[in-house]
Structure 1
């Protein structure tokens, strides 16, 4: 009977039947990670202001400007609907603390835990040979393993409330890009884990959604430490690497200098993206994946699927439009 119900749900989703919106309000709780800036900050504000939900905005640094702005929202109203908590996905004790506080918030109240939005992530640009082991491991540990640890810790509460899980992945999870190998690996693994988890949790009436929002590198602090990371790479080069990569490495990081420095929290004004997120959050039978992208991304993604590997590689380089070893060697 259980498998028949799952098949019926899948058919309804495929045919677009029964796609009603769940009601949301201050008794519905959503937990969003990575709220210091960028997409996570904007989603927390959207859930609070537009959907009038109770929001747990998890920030890596409670002293960051984004965290301070979120805390001010809570102080400005009589009803405490914005809770800003510290969360470091690399620290099990921090995950334990969030789990404990969430349990206390939900206990003995009529709050309904509606969703966990796994958004937090880190990124480092650089060819694989350049990136230091600690830089590689941080991306895997935060983007993939940290997300897994948090989700596993919260799963009993999520299951009890039949809450859904929305995992923010990336276009890099479909087509890896040069200079982002570890980041792409973490997002591809997250995508596959998302799909397995979706099937596992269906018998418990839970939804697992893959949300692909497009590129927000310039609107967040995900790559704010790029220049410091590049300097660490350069310092670790041996003499042969310095001679081989020198001019290319400098041109590469000069091109990425726009990413440097911490930016103010940016509340995204992309109505189409927020509409997709709302559907992922509130639709009774959400899509398994939501992809938000400009036409350029859509065309390239379509070409990537159809092209043989050599042509795909060429298209990837055109898509990235970054300095290359060959172009700098000719200078």
Structure 2
């Protein structure tokens, strides 16, 4: 009978049957990472303003513009006795920082009648550059933050999530399904998160904990995930030997000129994409959420469909067309001027 009930539940999830919304309000707590800018900042503000939840905004730097805006928002509308918007420092590379967040969250939950509704793993770093160009430190930072950092935080908070029957929403990427050139370590980290998410979902469901993979589409131009791209590029160039300088030459320069639009810290944005926010709300509040939510333009959807059905040589060609990045041109005049 237990197996039949589980099978029926799985069919209901797949078909979207019997889907009911959970109640949300100030008693429900959501913790969002990567709130300094971009998607994380926008999701935190949405949960606070539109869903009227209690929100833990985890920022890498409490002096960032995004963190200060969140702190100002809280100061203008709340008192300490009625605070619903909390801005905490979190560095996923340091276990001590993760442990401090866990202790703060434990204290908040113990001293109130709050319920921990969800952990939203959104924080991440990205570095553009062919795999040979990227320094070991750049590769390791992406794996350490995007994959291991997410695992560290989730493992630290799992007892609380389990006790409150909360849920975990892991923000991944289209790169987790189809790796893109110049993003090999980043794609590897997101593909690893995707498969870890799938295993964790099966493990935690028996404890009443839902685990969701949320793919929001590309927000590189709207966030600071690649704000240090030109600094990364200079570090790569400094690490080149004479053979690499002669071989890559002007191609490396053209490549990073193309990416110059990414450099520089942007103001924290508050997304106005209603379709994306509706999908996030369903992932957060539906009693039986889908295991995977994908938000994408028609261009993304068509390419993703083509990637599934085409042989590797054609998939590779489509990937190059999708990225539209500068290509290497073998030439004796390829050296730096």
Q: Normalising by structure 2, what TM-score?
A: 0.96
> Contact 1:115 / 1:281 at 8 angstroms: preserved in 2?
yes
Aligned-pair CA distance for 1:326: 2.8
Inter-partner Cα distance in structure 2 for 1:7 and 1:155:
26
Inter-partner Cα distance in structure 1 for 2:137 and 2:214:
28
Aligned-pair CA distance for 1:8: 2.3
Q: Which runs of 5+ in 2 are unaligned?
A: none
Equivalent residue for 1:40?
40
User: Would you say 1:13 and 2:13 are equivalent positions?
Assistant: yes
Inter-partner Cα distance in structure 2 for 1:284 and 1:192:
23
Equivalent residue for 2:75?
75
User: Would you say 1:210 and 2:218 are equivalent positions?
Assistant: no
Q: 1:241 aligns with which of 236, 239, 244?
A: 244
Equivalent residue for 2:102?
99
Equivalent residue for 1:281?
284
Matching of residues 1-331 of structure 1 within 5 Å: 2-78=2-78, 79-326=82-329
TM-aligned CA distance change 1:319 to 1:96, over 3 Å: same
Aligned-pair CA distance for 1:77: 1.9
Inter-partner Cα distance in structure 1 for 2:332 and 2:282:
49
Report runs of 4+ in structure 1 exceeding 6 Å deviation.
Answer: 327-331
3-state SS of paired residue (1:325): coil
User: What's the CA shift string for 1:116-168, capped at 9, x where partnerless?
Assistant: 00000000000000000000000000000000000000000000000000000
Q: Which runs of 5+ in 1 are unaligned?
A: none
TM-aligned CA distance change 1:15 to 1:224, over 3 Å: same
Inter-partner Cα distance in structure 2 for 1:203 and 1:19:
19
Aligned-pair CA distance for 1:72: 1.0
Inter-partner Cα distance in structure 1 for 2:158 and 2:275:
30
Aligned-pair CA distance for 1:12: 1.2
Aligned-pair CA distance for 1:52: 0.2
TM-aligned CA distance change 1:182 to 1:329, over 3 Å: farther
Inter-partner Cα distance in structure 2 for 1:32 and 1:301:
28
Aligned-pair CA distance for 1:74: 1.1
TM-aligned CA distance change 1:265 to 1:327, over 3 Å: farther
How many pairs were matched up? 331
3-state SS of paired residue (2:266): coil
3-state SS of paired residue (1:76): helix
Inter-partner Cα distance in structure 1 for 2:46 and 2:248:
44
TM-aligned CA distance change 1:313 to 1:76, over 3 Å: same
TM-aligned CA distance change 1:25 to 1:300, over 3 Å: same
TM-aligned CA distance change 1:310 to 1:53, over 3 Å: same
> Contact 1:2 / 1:203 at 8 angstroms: preserved in 2?
no
3-state SS of paired residue (2:93): coil
> Contact 1:32 / 1:44 at 8 angstroms: preserved in 2?
yes
Q: CA RMSD in A?
A: 1.3
> Contact 1:247 / 1:328 at 8 angstroms: preserved in 2?
no
